[in-house]
Structure 1
């Protein structure tokens, strides 16, 4: 997809043209002669529309800062795997559970998701009328739009819980002033969209279109939705449908260094090309996670609890597993990180230890690969195969197949050299706790939405329900005493949204 992502800026301009609700703006003549009546007439228009929908994954406004410093930090900082830099203002009140209704991060999540939903709705509505496309092309692009719409609603229902369900493209603002749907209705629509999408999506794309949603991506996301809804048997079935169709990268770090983008372990990624020709397809992850001593910004750190869990992940000879070295930069002779000077170079922990302000740092995405100027175009994982294997293991365990679940976990552990779990070594209850509080955070820490959304689903679920506050407290999350159950499990509905839609009701406690 990196080869076609350059169309995104044009597509986003088109999206802005058609998503504006100002009659005066819609009446303006576009300099490229794009009008509401002339668009949606060719295959290129359909591609521009769907690429604009993908573009909302990065953010609603096309700004490279929106994804990381707004949406990423808002969700990541609530988890127990991350400790934010208390000297930095980004999502600070979210991290200490004192945020109100006007924090910018949650608004940007809301705005980005609804921008994507609006664009998807337009694709679903308009593409069937493009006569110059083949029937198969139309079906595939509509399926992509449904996949993306389902993902945006998955984000919203987990982040805010109570959200409007809008399934048609509207220019009339009054028709967008609708009340929230019940969470069950939103989840049902997510399932419906994914069931439709998996039928029509292709198994794979050619090299010019890598990164677009595939049949496997739809099945994986649907399995994840079933998991979140505690539909254990459908979840197991759906994950097994793609079991073996992907493979783990031999090198754990290749999931984060840009060397295996859209590769064998990739199920779905947010695409960043690093290109600045038409738009700025970069992000600042490489700087945000790195120590000051190597030109980083130290926006956040691995929590002490996460580091202690990581250090339990050992090889047979007692040394740390590959995923420990691939996740954190820490006091160990083998630990290295990239210095971001030009040219970049690897430095050892010992060589800069006296200049470090903290003992431990994250290493994921802190690479100079795909670098353009200061920042990088490394893709961001949404779902990778290791996550699928761990979700399959979780569903198997809940279905009473604990030894089979252990075998799937061992596939993930073996890739990094970690000692395999012995068959029969854990009961169903013990393995559930292991998956929740060791295996998933060790493998997936810091990755987009994973830890916080896991805590949310276990906090809302009926199966071995866990209080988020109790987990945060047990894991020494800073400011966990501020956490209020049935309030901080969800974000406030952004106040600026309530001002323009009087039918919205604020979430509990805000």
Structure 2
């Protein structure tokens, strides 16, 4: 999509410093506080931009979120160069002091704080025109969505967590853990508030902001997690008809090998912009200097560099993920799904792409299969069809959080679990047809249909940080991941995934600072 990148330059506003050049003439800028600064649509917009900026903060989409979800979900495996805390994710040896897990928790609560600030302060601004009133409504609705997204991550990854419902509660340093049910109610409430005020589309100058469709999709996904299948289906079905115009792009490469043009498939993504030089700050900002690197204009992601087989090669696609693309068709014959070629580089028998640099000036080159360990390396989210090396962590390939194919498959899953297998069949086939996979003539029994939708989501959404959430939601994480690990390491006696790993550990930082939470943790884990 054509992007307007919401930069991080206004983050300093939340540290109570002036962001407007007109403040240079104010004698005592330190007299400003949150009540005296955020008094206009312009300053509310700055606060909202600061909230958006957290999507690229520690734990999220500049770097850490890929490792957190791909390694725990066994879609990625650690390669030799991978070092530090992220190594612990692949064998589930992490604990409450794990850096990236602590960062994700912290950033999620920062996102609720900044979103709550927007909601609270915008309500006190007196608009000077109908245009200003509409803008304030939009800003508040965007903030409700961002808050709900943070809450969604917290409840799905940690379960019972403290709820910070509004800005006033930020003065409450200690909050108890709320039930999972109450957390979901908060997510639903915030998303409904977002839906009521978000636009369906934006003009060219505002692309990159969350839309009404994104909120509808996240609400449907929240219902799906709670097994509210009828409610989930109702939300997803809204996105298949007017006023929404979502569709599937012709080829997955349009989304995952280059900066995508404006397209019909993206429902909610994190826009990235390639590094523009040192005037924008360091390209290595993803290692924790998001709010202090240069001018704060960096919005690139390091995913391509970190995963790239011709760059840092820290991880590779797991054996289990590769093998999933080969399965039996309806006649019982072995079948290689064509989406393998969009997902990984490999050999001909696996279905992986065997050339790279297809669009480079010098033409296509043979992928060096035998020079890459098990031979299989990530292609999705990599730029190697357009250049030989990344050279710097500077990818501008947008992070797809929810796309229309995901919506169709979630709708199919909701229908199957509601006993409407016939309605699910064309939805699954529509997604498969885009990549040239054979069409199912039947999904079989309900149990057979569930197995098919599970496989379909694994193949279509491979490497998109969805697998872990799906395995947890389906209740099959332990049996699936341990079976995959056993197949990879048959001689190992290690117990990889244990029952406790269904949830992340409550971070050590929270335990050390909040006695109400510290006294409500079982077995020093969650």
TM-score in same-fold range (> 0.5): yes
2:192 to 176, 189, 195: 195
Q: Which residue of 1 aligns with 2:147?
A: 149
Alignment of 1:461-472 (within 5 A): 466=476, 468-472=477-481
- The whole-number CA distance in structure 1 between the counterparts of 2:320 and 2:459 is 11
**Quick one: structure 1 residues 165 and 335, their matched pair in 2 at CA, closer, same or farther if it must change by over 3 Å?**
same
> 1:222 deviation in Å?
0.5
Q: Which residue of 2 aligns with 1:417?
A: 436
Q: Which residue of 2 aligns with 1:21?
A: none
For the residue of structure 2 that corresponds to 1:267, the secondary structure is strand
Is 1:70 aligned with 2:64?
yes
> 1:131 deviation in Å?
2.1
**CA RMSD across the alignment:** 3.1
**Quick one: structure 1 residues 66 and 418, their matched pair in 2 at CA, closer, same or farther if it must change by over 3 Å?**
closer
Q: Which residue of 2 aligns with 1:42?
A: 40
> 1:37 deviation in Å?
4.5
- The whole-number CA distance in structure 2 between the counterparts of 1:440 and 1:30 is 53
Is 1:290 aligned with 2:308?
yes
- The whole-number CA distance in structure 2 between the counterparts of 1:411 and 1:171 is 46
Deviations 1:168-199 (A, max 9, x none): 225975x1211111111110110111112112
**Quick one: structure 1 residues 409 and 29, their matched pair in 2 at CA, closer, same or farther if it must change by over 3 Å?**
farther
Q: Which residue of 1 aligns with 2:292?
A: none
**Quick one: structure 1 residues 127 and 306, their matched pair in 2 at CA, closer, same or farther if it must change by over 3 Å?**
same
Q: Which residue of 2 aligns with 1:300?
A: 315
- The whole-number CA distance in structure 2 between the counterparts of 1:402 and 1:166 is 40
Q: Which residue of 2 aligns with 1:25?
A: none
> 1:484 deviation in Å?
5.0
- The whole-number CA distance in structure 2 between the counterparts of 1:480 and 1:366 is 35
**Quick one: structure 1 residues 84 and 41, their matched pair in 2 at CA, closer, same or farther if it must change by over 3 Å?**
same
- The whole-number CA distance in structure 2 between the counterparts of 1:268 and 1:380 is 9
TM-score, normalisation: structure 1: 0.86
Q: Which residue of 2 aligns with 1:327?
A: 343
Is 1:392 aligned with 2:407?
no
Deviations 1:490-509 (A, max 9, x none): 11111112111111136444
- The whole-number CA distance in structure 2 between the counterparts of 1:149 and 1:141 is 12
CA contact (8 A) 1:334 1:348 kept: no
Q: Which residue of 1 aligns with 2:287?
A: none
> 1:72 deviation in Å?
2.5
Q: Which residue of 1 aligns with 2:325?
A: 310
Alignment of 1:102-251 (within 5 A): 102-132=97-127, 134-169=132-167, 175-244=172-241, 245-251=245-251
Q: Which residue of 1 aligns with 2:507?
A: 494
> 1:375 deviation in Å?
1.5
Q: Which residue of 2 aligns with 1:454?
A: 470
- The whole-number CA distance in structure 1 between the counterparts of 2:324 and 2:354 is 20
Is 1:429 aligned with 2:447?
yes
**Quick one: structure 1 residues 507 and 325, their matched pair in 2 at CA, closer, same or farther if it must change by over 3 Å?**
farther
> 1:258 deviation in Å?
3.2
Deviations 1:249-305 (A, max 9, x none): 1011112123435521000001222255332221222222222xx2x2222222222
**Quick one: structure 1 residues 283 and 314, their matched pair in 2 at CA, closer, same or farther if it must change by over 3 Å?**
farther
TM-score, normalisation: structure 2: 0.83
CA contact (8 A) 2:343 2:352 kept: no
Counting matched residue pairs gives 479
Q: Which residue of 1 aligns with 2:8?
A: 9
CA contact (8 A) 2:485 2:496 kept: no
Q: Which residue of 2 aligns with 1:24?
A: none
- The whole-number CA distance in structure 2 between the counterparts of 1:172 and 1:415 is 47
Q: Which residue of 1 aligns with 2:383?
A: 367
For the residue of structure 2 that corresponds to 1:404, the secondary structure is helix
For the residue of structure 2 that corresponds to 1:364, the secondary structure is coil
Is 1:356 aligned with 2:381?
no
Deviations 1:432-488 (A, max 9, x none): 01212x11010001113x1001111112xxxxxx3x221112333667942454311
For the residue of structure 2 that corresponds to 1:475, the secondary structure is helix
- The whole-number CA distance in structure 1 between the counterparts of 2:440 and 2:457 is 15
CA contact (8 A) 1:473 1:481 kept: no
Q: Which residue of 2 aligns with 1:281?
A: 299
CA contact (8 A) 2:220 2:232 kept: yes
**Quick one: structure 1 residues 435 and 69, their matched pair in 2 at CA, closer, same or farther if it must change by over 3 Å?**
same
Return 134-143 or 482-491, whichever deviates more.
482-491
